[in-house]
Structure 1
Amino acid sequence: MSSGFDRFYGVWLEQLRQQVDQLAAAPKPPTTADHHQQLHHLVTKFMNHYADYYRTKALAADRDVLAVLAAPWITALERSLHWIGGWRPTTVFHLVYTESSILFEARIIDILRGFRTGDLGDLSPSQFRGVSELQCDTVREENVITEEMSEWQDGVSDLMAASLDLEGKIGKLGEIVKKADELRLKTVRRVVELLTPQQAVEFLISASELQFGIRGWGLSLSNCPR
C-alpha cells in the first residue's frame, strides 16, 4: 500500500506545484468579470485537487492505517509536525492572520487613504469575525478528535489481552485518522468560502508555499551528513 500511495503522492504533489503556478499567474487584482470567473475556476480546481488527496488517503487508510500514520512518502521533519496523520487544522488560522498582518503593514498607507487593496491585508470586519468564529469551532472539533486519539492510546495495554479485537482496535484508529482529515479539508474549504476569489488565491498560494518549504527543509536535513 505504501508504495502505491507514495507514487500517488509524488504525482499529486507535482500537480499541486503546477496549480500553484497557475494561481500565481492569474490576474490580481481582477479587473473584469472574466478575471473574477478565472480566479473562481482556479480556486475550485485547487480545492478539488485537495479533496482528491483526502479521498485517496481515506482508501489507503482503510487498507493500512498504520502505514498512513507512518507516512514514508514524506520527510521526518514533516512527520514531526503532524497531528494525527497530517497538519493541525488550526494552523490555517495562524497562516491567515500572519499573511493578513504582513500585507496590511505593507499597504497601510493606501488603506489609511481609503484605497481598497482587495488582498488578504484588506479583510473586512465581517470576514475577521467569520474567521474568528470558525477558529473557535475548529478548536473544539480538534479537541474532540485529540481526546478520541488519547483514549485510543490509553487502551494500548489492552493489546496484551488475549480477547482483544485487534482488527476492531485498528479500525477505530482508521476512523480517527479519517475524522482528522475531514476536519483539515473542511477547515480549508470554509476559510476559502469566507474570502474573495483574490484573497482565496493568495491564501492557497501561501499555504502551498509553506508545505513546499517544510518539505524542502526536510529533504535538506535528510541529506545532511551525520
Structure 2
Amino acid sequence: MSNFTTFTHFYENWLEQLHKLVNQLSSAPRPPSSPDQHHHLVQLVHQVMCHYAEYYKLKAQATERDAVSVLTAPWASSLERSLHWIAGWRPTTAFHLVYTESSIRFESHIVDILRGLRTGDLGDLSPSQFRRVSELQCETVKEENAITEELSEWQDGASEVIGECGDEFEKKIGRLISVIKRADDLRLKTVQKVVELLTPQQAVEFLIGAAELQFGIRGWGINHDRKRTNF
C-alpha cells in the first residue's frame, strides 16, 4: 500500500470522526446553563482542536515522505483542489466565516439585541472581540503573503529540479517541505487563535460552521467528480 493510499484512508477515517465530533457539538446545550454544561463545551472544543492537530501531524509526516504529492492533494476532490492554497484551505477563510456567522446570527436576533438581551452566540461578539479578530486577520494576511511568495520563488526554480540529484535536489525538496509545513502551521494556528478569543459557546458555533463548510464542499466535489467520470 502506497504512502498516499494510507494517508487517504487516514483522511477518510479522520473526516468520519470529525462528523461524530460535530454531532456532539451540535447536540450540546447552548448557551450553557450550568458550570457542568460550560465545562462540557470547553471539553468538546478541546477534543475538536486535538483532532485537527492530529491531522496536521500526520500530514507533516506525509509531506516529509513526498512533498510533491502532498502539494497535488490526491485525497481531495477536484473542486477542493481548485479552492486550495498550498494543499489546504486558505487561513483567512476562518475570518470570513466568523464575520458571516456573526452577521447571520445578529440579524436573526436583532430584536432581542435591540431590547438589550444578550444571546451569547457569534452574533453577540463584543467590540474587543471584533478588534482582535481584525488584528488577527491582518497578521494572518501578512503570513499568507510571505508563504505565497516563498512558494512562488520555489516554483520559479522548479524547472532546475528536473534531472538533478544529490544535495541540490534534496535542498530544493527540503524547501518545498518547509513551505507546505509553514502553510499547515498557519492554518492550525489561525483556528487555535480564533477559538481562543471566543467564548466556549461561540467556539462551538465557529467549529460547527467550519466543519459544515468543509463537508459541503467535499460532498459537492465528490458528486461532481463521479458525474464527470460517468460521461
1:68-83 correspondence to structure 2 within 5 Å = 68-83=70-85
Partner of 1:23: 25
What SS class does the counterpart of residue 165 from structure 1 fall into? helix
Q: Give the counterpart of 2:219 among 213, 216, 221.
A: 216
Q: Give the counterpart of 1:203 among 203, 206, 209.
A: 206
Q: Give the counterpart of 2:14 among 8, 12, 15.
A: 12
Answering whether residue 189 of structure 2 is matched by residue 186 of structure 1, we say yes
How many residue pairs align between the two structures?
226
Structure 1: how far apart are the matches of 2:10 and 2:55?
9
Q: Give the counterpart of 1:67 among 44, 65, 69.
A: 69
Structure 1: how far apart are the matches of 2:77 and 2:163?
35
The Cα of 1:223 is off from its aligned counterpart by 1.7
Partner of 2:180: 177
Structure 2: how far apart are the matches of 1:159 and 1:71?
20
Runs of 5+ consecutive residues of structure 2 not aligned to the other structure: none
Structure 2: how far apart are the matches of 1:101 and 1:157?
46
Q: TM-score, normalised by structure 1?
A: 0.97
1:22-171 correspondence to structure 2 within 5 Å = 22-159=24-161, 165-171=168-174
Structure 2: how far apart are the matches of 1:216 and 1:162?
40
Structure 2: how far apart are the matches of 1:162 and 1:47?
40
Structure 1: how far apart are the matches of 2:223 and 2:163?
43
Report which stretch shifted further, 151-160 or 174-183.
151-160
The Cα of 1:162 is off from its aligned counterpart by 5.5
Letter in 2 for 1:76: S
What SS class does the counterpart of residue 26 from structure 2 fall into? helix
- For the structure 1 residues 162 and 21, does the alpha-carbon distance in structure 2 shift closer, same or farther, using more than 3 Å as the test? closer
Structure 2: how far apart are the matches of 1:91 and 1:194?
16
The Cα of 1:133 is off from its aligned counterpart by 0.3
Runs of 5+ consecutive residues of structure 1 not aligned to the other structure: none
Letter in 2 for 1:180: A
Two-structure CA RMSD over aligned residues (Å): 1.2
Q: TM-score, normalised by structure 2?
A: 0.95
The Cα of 1:10 is off from its aligned counterpart by 1.0
Letter in 2 for 1:176: V
The Cα of 1:211 is off from its aligned counterpart by 0.1
Structure 2: how far apart are the matches of 1:196 and 1:24?
16
What SS class does the counterpart of residue 74 from structure 1 fall into? coil
Tell me the alpha carbon deviations over residues 108-129 of structure 1, each in whole angstroms, 9 at most, x when there is no partner: 0000000000000000000000
Structure 1: how far apart are the matches of 2:204 and 2:17?
16
Identity %: 64
Report which stretch shifted further, 1-10 or 157-166.
157-166
- For the structure 1 residues 160 and 25, does the alpha-carbon distance in structure 2 shift closer, same or farther, using more than 3 Å as the test? closer
